[in-house]
Chain A
Amino acid sequence: MKLTIERAALLKALGHVQSVVERRNTIPILSNVLLSASHRALTFSATDLDMEITDEVSARVEVPGQITAPAHTLYEIVRKLPDGAEVELSFDGDDPRLTVSAGRSRFNLPVLPAGDFPVMSSEGLSSHLLVDTGDLMRLIDKTRFAISTEETRYYLNGLYLHTVVENGETKLRAVATDGHRLALAEMPAPEGAAGSPGVIVPRKTVQEARRLLETAGETVELHLSPAKVRFNFGRAALTSKVIDGSFPDYARVIPRDNNRVLIVDNALFAAAVDRVATISAEKSRSVKMAVEPGRVILTVRNMEAGQAVEEVEVDYEGEGFEIGFNARYLLDVAGQIQENTAEFRFADPASPTLVLDPADAGVRYVLMPLRV
């Protein structure tokens, strides 16, 4: 294998793939990136066995071939090369090392045979969806904060991507929950979505996909099977296993009949919650909301740290009540709302509360109250 490639292109491609590679690996070849040179292009591939990222860059290939080399080392070397450098990668059977040369620098890196590199099959990815990049980013951004990190309910450790039919309209929907709050975002179903399987995309895959979306073109191809998901971002691609489990029936925890409607200035509310939460207990972060016509009184009482009270003006008519929430959950939701105002719909102090964004009918947030 012998080829020349521009440093910036090489750095970008290595940057795309190397983040999948775990820093500490018990299986040596998983620390490596697979380099495949053919037809004036160099393909990169890295995997942690659950997820695989590939990217492709134009290169002047003199001798095609394949080899694997340490991903992080290669990335660090290329990062430190001067801007605009031409990098030559070469490997031949005589020297069992990959030679990286640029200008007066020369590196020899240990390799492992390309034949041993585990390649993830893309079999069974029968559903193909063509999604607008901005729309997919929105689905992820509006929901991923609610993905659970708790290992006992592993099936909540991802984003549930699926299609639903509501009022005769098919939608592509993303839902994340940790059992204490839930975030839902949907969009009109893109082409090919009808009948595609629902999948729970693991948190790490969601992160990587979001990162790759930044540099993707206008649309992204989404390939789905019950066991796998593949994102095609033009030249780069991400293939991942999905979480093997069934996502709970979330629809029944989204309140429909909550009729105590409260409208609040989102920025003022978030700032007030943030202020009173300064003294809340680390564990519960509990904030009490005393709702009255025209105002909400936020209270935090902490045995050690003292007490905080702040009044916020709101649009609310109806009888007063008290309800408690985790301050962080309130702030997370407030951070997602684009409109100047947020709409809360309460039932009672023990039942889930719905939060809506008047600017975006396609998102819904559900918060489980705390006992206060």
Chain B
Amino acid sequence: MSALCRDCLHLGPPLTNRRCPHCSSPRLIAHEQLEKLTIAHMDCDAFYAAVEKRDRPELRDRPVIVGGGHRGVVTTCCYIARTFGVRSAMPMFKALALCPQAEVIFPDFSKYKTASAAIFAKLSKLTPLVQPLSLDEAWMDLTGAERLNGGCSALVLARLQNEIETEVGLTVSIGLAPNKFLAKIASDLDKPRGFAVIGQAEAESFLAPKPVGILPGVGPALVKTLEKAGLGTVGDLARAEPRDLVKIGGAYGLRLSQLAKGLDSRPVNPDQVRKSISAETTFAVDLSHVDALSDQLWPLCEKVARQMRAAAIAGRVATLKLKTSDFKLVTRRRTLAVPCQTARTLFAAARELLAAEARGQTYRLIGVGLSELVDATDAPNDLFGAEEAIARSKEKVIDGLRAKFGQGAVISGRALKMRPKSKS
């Protein structure tokens, strides 16, 4: 058993007075396996809201909600707003009803990307095995990097946490465990500014009383199915015969059985391949006309296509997503003739799908995406791919111009009316 002081990074045997013998800090973490565990999950605390507070110190003690407009949803809210019951993904009108004094800030992703890049630069100094989950979340495998980093993983991570706080100005929470699944569970335990450790020995008993919904891949539908089968807690799953779980969840049943026992053999994979790329937007007022919806669709197609080209991938299946005024979700997909990475092809397919849906119904949201991704360099020359090939070379030229002269350097006629009106 050893204990680590998160402030002065003193590592020694645990003490009974629960204060660091060096600096008297109470922020000690003690665990049997503290010096042995190497898989970590890092998660920023209320990331977007924290970036906003960092840049506008006058907001420090006020509830802050980051999200889109009055009709949008809460993207992130600070911990003060959370005390009022505000949660992320909550519709904005509901959040403002709970916390009318909140400062609502429209998300500024370029700012968050910069902050994220600063954090990820620090992570990749510690190990090449960093698997990003989003802008503010990542797994790390620090196995074998102890000597390089001058200390056990726990010490290195505590130091990282302090560095991010002082140098980037943001707080993060760390979970340290023997595998990815437990590390992610752990990072959530002690939030914000937390550091939690779960060892293999106590994993099963720790998980047993938790509801099955905490397991990755177990959504509301599967929760219902499992509960019907008398499997309400993770402990129930751990005790169940894997064979019976297979009957309920197919191949995923086996994985559930493993996870419930705290086992997860997935490696930290820095080159995790994306399954789809998509973009969506919620309108200021509900829209029903196909032309009005198409105007919203085009910039989304451009955004998706740009990401596809930047990642050198192409997608075989185009998906259109619509949400009706009464919050019903409609998705329509189409297989494309050739793998696509251009706004032109994506828009053409999505618009056809849209034309079939825009028949008087009013919508509040539209989204578009590409899936069944393939390596764009692998995409063979295709007899029917000539138009896509021409569109690709055109859009690549536009990418280049925009990179050099800014996003506004080239604007398609279709996007022109979507530009925000200049403030007078």
Q: Given A152-B316, A253-B386, A368–B381 Cβ distance below 8 Å?
A: yes
How close is B242's CB to chain A, nearest CB, in angstroms? 27
Contact of A179 among B316, B338, B372 (CB under 8 A): B338
Task: Give A350 to B380 CA distance when docked, in angstroms.
Answer: 11
Q: CB-CB < 8 A to A179: which residues of B?
A: 337-338, 382-385
Taking CB atoms and an 8 Å cut-off, the chain B residues in 335-392 that contact chain A are 335, 337-338, 372, 380-386
Query: Interface residues of A, CB < 8 Å — how many?
Result: 16
Q: Given A152-B316, A253-B386, A248–B381 Cβ distance below 8 Å?
A: no
Task: Give A161 to B67 CA distance when docked, in angstroms.
Answer: 56
How close is B376's CB to chain A, nearest CB, in angstroms? 13
Besides A152-B335, A368-B380, 12 other CB < 8 A contacts?
A: A179-B385, A180-B381, A180-B382, A180-B383, A248-B337, A253-B383, A253-B386, A368-B381, A368-B382, A368-B383, A370-B380, A370-B381
23 contacts between A and B (CB under 8 A): A152-B316, A152-B335, A152-B372, A153-B337, A177-B383, A179-B337, A179-B382, A179-B383, A179-B384, A179-B385, A180-B380, A180-B381, A180-B382, A181-B383, A182-B383, A248-B337, A248-B384, A253-B386, A350-B381, A352-B383, A368-B382, A370-B381, A371-B381
How close is A110's CB to chain B, nearest CB, in angstroms? 31
Q: CB-CB < 8 A to B316: which residues of A?
A: 152
| Docked-complex contact B383 and A366, CB < 8 angstroms | yes
Taking CB atoms and an 8 Å cut-off, the chain A residues in 259-281 that contact chain B are none
Taking CB atoms and an 8 Å cut-off, the chain B residues in 313-346 that contact chain A are 316, 335, 337-338
Task: Give A200 to B126 CA distance when docked, in angstroms.
Answer: 58
A155-184 contact mask (Cβ, 8 Å, vs B): 1 or 0: 000000000000000000000010111100
Is A198 interfacial (CB-CB < 8 Å)? no
How close is A291's CB to chain B, nearest CB, in angstroms? 18
Interface size class of B (residues with CB under 8 A): 10 to 19
Task: Give A44 to B380 CA distance when docked, in angstroms.
Answer: 46
Q: CB-CB < 8 A to B380: which residues of A?
A: 180, 368, 370
Residue of B nearest to A249 (CB): B384
Residue of B nearest to A248 (CB): B384
Q: CB-CB < 8 A to A177: which residues of B?
A: 383
A340-372 contact mask (Cβ, 8 Å, vs B): 1 or 0: 000000000010100000000000001011110
Q: CB-CB < 8 A to B385: which residues of A?
A: 179
Taking CB atoms and an 8 Å cut-off, the chain B residues in 52-79 that contact chain A are none
Task: Give A180 to B380 CA distance when docked, in angstroms.
Answer: 8
Q: CB-CB < 8 A to B381: which residues of A?
A: 180, 350, 368-371
How close is A349's CB to chain B, nearest CB, in angstroms? 10
How close is B388's CB to chain A, nearest CB, in angstroms? 12
Q: CB-CB < 8 A to B384: which residues of A?
A: 179, 248, 253
Task: Give A135 to B287 CA distance when docked, in angstroms.
Answer: 57
Residue of A nearest to B335 (CB): A152
